[in-house]
Chain A
Amino acid sequence: EAGVAQSPRYKIIEKRQSVAFWCNPISGHATLYWYQQILGQGPKLLIQFQNNGVVDDSQLPKDRFSAERLKGVDSTLKIQPAKLEDSAVYLCASSLEDGGPYEQYFGPGTRLTVT
């Protein structure tokens, strides 16, 4: 079974530029998550999708971050404009369903550096 795929693996941009990350979850997984992991901290949930609907985006900085999951499969996370404090690893995860005791499977992450 293929795991969660993410691209790019690394990205360096200047502040005020925009950037987009892509995630392809495990086939059949209805729930998709985006986490932000700042160096020295644990991952923090940014947004959770159930199929193509948003379940939780309470910690997403909506003035600069946006995310979508078209057709309930792939997802993109965008930052526009980026700030220095957005430097982090962005992790995508997926699980079978929402609300059940299902394991979340994580992708390798995208390491973003904002200069």
Chain B
Amino acid sequence: AQTVTQSQPEMSVQEAETVTLSCTYDTSESDYYLFWYKQPPSRQMILVIRQEAYKQQNATENRFSVNFQKAAKSFSLKISDSQLGDAAMYFCAYRRSGSEKLVFGKGTKLTVNP
């Protein structure tokens, strides 16, 4: 069974600084997708960034980028120029190609200090 591990229950960063959230996963599949979701307090979960396993190039969305290391089964999220609105729970998730089932990690709570 696929598992997703987020080893940092909480992280904090100063406004305008850079922070990296860690995620590792376990799978025997070769074709899959990886995601980072953001869940602000009392608000709905939204997709931040996605990575297809067959792509070697790391995905980037504005201030958000990933470091995808397929051999190491590592998928970290880097947030540059952190803003107060980035404060939220961040979940790493895995989905096998051909399936819609998302497997989530336990999440990392990010605090942004002014």
Contact = CB atoms under 8 A, between A and B. Distances in A.
Interface of A: 3-4, 31, 33, 40-45, 48, 55-56, 91, 95, 98-99, 101-104, 106-109
B100 A42 contact: no
B98 interface: yes
A3 B101 CA distance: 20
B102 interface: yes
A33 B100 contact: yes
Given A40-B106, A42-B91, A98-B100, A103 B43 contact: no
A91 B45 contact: yes
Contacts of A44: 104
Contacts of B93: 42
Overall SS of chain B's interface: loop
A101 B43 CA distance: 24
A55 B105 CA distance: 23
Interface of B: 4, 33, 43-47, 50, 52, 91, 93, 98-102, 104-107
A39 to B, nearest CB: 11
A107 B44 contact: yes
Contact of B105 (A42, A48, A99, A108): A42
A55 B91 contact: no
A104 B44 contact: no
A98 B101 CA distance: 10
Contacts of B99: 99
Contact of A42 (B4, B44, B46): B4
Given A101-B33, A101-B52, A43 B44 contact: no
B3 to A, nearest CB: 11
B24 to A, nearest CB: 14
Contacts of B104: 42-44
14 contacts: A4-B44, A31-B100, A42-B105, A43-B91, A43-B102, A44-B104, A48-B101, A95-B100, A99-B98, A99-B99, A101-B52, A104-B100, A106-B44, A106-B45
